[in-house]
Amino acid sequence: MTKFYDWINSIKENELNNVIKSLKQDGLVILPTETVYGLAANAFSDNACKKIFEAKGRAQDNPLIVHVSDKKMIYDIVEKPNEIEEKLIDTFMPGPFTIILNKKEIICDTVTCSR
């Protein structure tokens, strides 16, 4: 089922709950980023992440980006960043910043293309 929510002026709690429910059920959602609209799924679910590759016809060796809500979440999902990575995180977060880190087992292997 396709739904569109216009959250430019406000986010309605019931709509946000629908999106969360969809992600928890391995559904896909489209969301705006700083530059484009992205296709998102639950990074903890191989089944959900495989749907991104299928929907986009994405190459199986092209890893996905995992968005985090805050710095604390980084430490929940990746191995301890080194000193340089810590400085980059502290300098550029929050913000539109991408860094490649070693994942913990909690992140599914599909995200990293089993790398």
Whole-prediction pTM: 0.82
Of 26, 22, 63, 57, the residue nearest 44 (C-alpha):
26
Q: Which residue has the higher pLDDT, 74 or 5?
A: 74
Please say whether the dihedral angle defined by the alpha carbons of residues 36, 41, 46 and 52, taken in this order, is positive or negative: negative
Confidence category of residue 12, pLDDT binned at 50, 70, 90: confident
**What pLDDT digit, counting tens, does each position of 42-76 carry?**
999 999 999 999 999 999 999 999 989 888 999 99
- Mean pLDDT (the chain) is 90
Confidence category of residue 1, pLDDT binned at 50, 70, 90: low
| Residue 95 reports pLDDT greater than 90 | no
Tokens encoding 43: 């990074």
Distance CA 27, CA 67 (A): 16
CB 111 within 8 A of CB 49: yes
Residue 29, beta-bridge partner list: 40
Residue 30, beta-bridge partner list: 39
Burial of 44 (0-12, 13-18, 19+ CB in 10 A): middle
At 46, give phi and psi (nearest 5°). Answer: -55, -45
